[in-house]
Amino acid sequence: MAIFGANTLSDLRDRDEVAIRTEKHSTRAVIIWAVVADDEVFVRSVRGAKGQWYRDLAKGGPATLEFAGRRLAVQATPVTGPATVERVSREYLQKYRTSPYAESMVRPEALPTTLRLKPR
């Protein structure tokens, strides 16, 4: 199982926004929020299932995460376990606590879009 290195995890913890570019829509990067929980990287669509990047990744397509001047090839898997979804919600609320948009990331329609990212 591929895992992110310590430097990558640290960069993602410290970065408020990252860009994601799916293989299907490779010319368009979308700015999203990512969180690290127990050394795993998670993303979630603020638009729920309407988010195009989310739909591309949920179908199993690869993507590129862009941050700190780097491009990192990733693959996503849906998170269905309620305990993990809750853990990710806590991370979003903690990391983005000063943002008026933090609550948007834990709305019921956003929760099913929780994805775990792994390097590929």
Instruction: Indicate which CATH number applies to the domain containing 45.
Output: 2.30.110.10
Task: Please give the Cα distance from 46 to 68 (Å, whole number).
Answer: 22
Structural domain including 51 reads: 6-119
Rounded CA separation 88/79 (Å)? 10
Q: How many domains does the chain have?
A: 1
**pLDDT tens for each residue of 17-76:** 999 999 988 899 999 999 999 999 999 999 999 999 999 999 888 999 999 999 999 999
pLDDT tens by residue, 88-106: 999 999 999 999 999 999 9
31, amino acid identity:
I
Query: Between the CA atoms of 48, 33, 6 and 94, what dihedral angle is there, to the nearest 10 degrees?
Result: -90
Give a yes or no: residue 1 inside a domain: no
* Separation of alpha carbons 40 and 59, rounded Å: 20
